[in-house]
Amino acid sequence: MCMCIKNICRFFLRAQSQMNENMITYRKTKKGIRQKRAMEKEKITKDKLTKENKKETTALQAISADERKDWISLAFVQAGICVCVPAFLLGAMLAEAMPIWPAIISGSLGYLVVVIGMVITGMMGCDLGVPSCTACEAGFGKKGARFIVSIIFAVNLIGWFGIQNGVCGEAFTNGLQAMTGIHVPVVVSNTVWGLIMLLTAVFGMTALEKLDKISIPLLMIIMLFGLYLAFKIYGRQGLETETVQTMSFMGGVALSFNFTAVGTINAADYTRFQKSRKDTVKSVFYGVFPMGVITLIMGILLTKISGEYDISMVLIDVGLPLFGIAAMIISTWTTNSTNAYSGGLNIVMAFNLKDNKRREATLIAGILGIVLCNIGVVSHIEGLLSLLSYVVCPIGGVIIADYWIVGKGKKQNFRPVDGVNWCGVISWFIGALCAYFLVKVEFSGIIIGGIVYLILEKFMPSTSRDGICEQ
């Protein structure tokens, strides 16, 4: 009997012990599940925050290492800047002023000069991680960069946004009517497409990158198809027609550069996202030069064989308005998004906005461009914008001389100056006057402005330069 009771007790003790072990295991498992769920939730939150942080909101602050992009991504953005209606117009102007081969060679050489200029200013942006307007704070001083440089840049970029927006809107209205018989007011077309182009710029460099990776290959296909149709319909006779040369070879080189003068000086707006100087060279050369030359040649050939330089209009004329509209929209979109983007950066500086207001500033830039376009102002300011090229180029001369010669091309020697650096302001003013009244070539302002700056630096060096000469 006692043995039986002992066995029963042992049984219950073992059962109790097993139950305790099972309960402990259960609790541990439940706790582990809770911890796992908490960790997963935390990871999701972190990923969400990381994604939010990747959204580009800053304007003038230096781009961090983890925000830098590979050179291929930036090459597509650089290529998108070069493809627009004015680029085709360049080819047309050269085709009407000289024979085909001198036109192609002089225009291509002009784009090579553009590439060299963009590499020089672009490497500054890569080194410092800041846009062009901020890179001017040493040569012009913080107030000079704010009240002179950023305003000049903003006016240029907003004006060109409006002009290209108007070209796109009018082409869309005409093309849609030709294709369907439906008439959409030009004002509506301008507003709709202007806002679409603007939204890409608002989201920043990542959105520009995605847009150009899709649109550039698609545009290349449409352009080559249009050129093939033009040859098929119009033939080659136009290529054999002799052209009386009314423009010098160097005039063609200068004209080619002038079409992208502002983009050359503003290169740092985009190259600040590059990881190294080597990547900057690659993105500029492989992005700008091929697309620039291809668009140039296409404008020359189309003008010679059909009398029409714009590939979109050629496609509409041969009965393919859908392709024509697509070509016009894509070529304008890739360029105009960058106009609004850079315009926003300069508005932030000009109006001393908080650095996280880049998106709002970009919206302001684009909306101003759309409004100017719709009220017809932009049709009267093309001459002003051309005049501003003379004003923009000496800015490039000052910042190049300041960074590469005075500062010895070293990041640590870049020292923004409080107030106004009169050495830079005077050099810019003299460079613009000499280029406009004496040389009458826009890009000469880069050379003149840079030389004057180096001379003046010897007589009135900035106090921020103390110690540089000894390095």
CATH at 195: 1.10.4160.10
- pLDDT tens digits, one per residue of 123-158: 999 999 999 999 999 999 999 999 999 999 999 999
The mean pLDDT of 9-29, rounded to a whole number, is: 59
Three-state DSSP class for residue 328: helix
- pLDDT tens digits, one per residue of 268-314: 999 999 999 999 999 999 999 999 999 999 889 988 888 887 777 77
Residue range of the domain that includes 157:
65-382
The pLDDT confidence band at residue 463, using thresholds 50, 70 and 90, is low
pLDDT at residue 232 above 60?
Answer: yes
At residue 240, the pLDDT reads: 77
Q: Measuring CA to CA, how many Å separate 413 from each of 72, 124, 137, 469?
A: 29, 12, 13, 10
pLDDT at residue 98 above 80?
Answer: yes
Three-state DSSP class for residue 174: helix
Specify if 278 maps to a domain: yes
The mean pLDDT of 216-230, rounded to a whole number, is: 88
Specify if 120 maps to a domain: yes
The mean pLDDT of 65-72, rounded to a whole number, is: 91
Q: What is the mean pLDDT of the chain?
A: 85
At residue 50, the pLDDT reads: 41
Three-state DSSP class for residue 311: helix
Residues in Cβ contact with 316 at an 8 Å cutoff, skipping those fewer than 6 apart: 174, 175, 178, 324, 325
Percent share of the chain, pLDDT over 90: 52
Residue that wins the pLDDT comparison between 152 and 86: 152
Specify if 204 maps to a domain: yes
Specify if 266 maps to a domain: yes
> What does the DSSP 8-state code read for residue 280?
H
At residue 260, the pLDDT reads: 82
Specify if 460 maps to a domain: no
- The runs of H, that is alpha helices, within 83-141 are 85-97, 100-128, 132-135
Specify if 217 maps to a domain: yes
At residue 289, the pLDDT reads: 94
pLDDT at residue 417 above 60?
Answer: yes
The pLDDT confidence band at residue 340, using thresholds 50, 70 and 90, is very high
pLDDT at residue 43 above 70?
Answer: no
Residue that wins the pLDDT comparison between 27 and 300: 300
Three-state DSSP class for residue 69: strand
| Tokens encoding 321 | 């308005």
Total domains present in the chain? 1
At residue 15, the pLDDT reads: 56
> What does the DSSP 8-state code read for residue 231?
H
**Residue 455, Cβ neighbours under 10 Å: how many?**
13
Specify if 50 maps to a domain: no
Least trusted range by pLDDT, from 26-35, 258-267, 326-335: 26-35
Residues in Cβ contact with 72 at an 8 Å cutoff, skipping those fewer than 6 apart: 283
In the chain, the amino acid numbered 268 is A
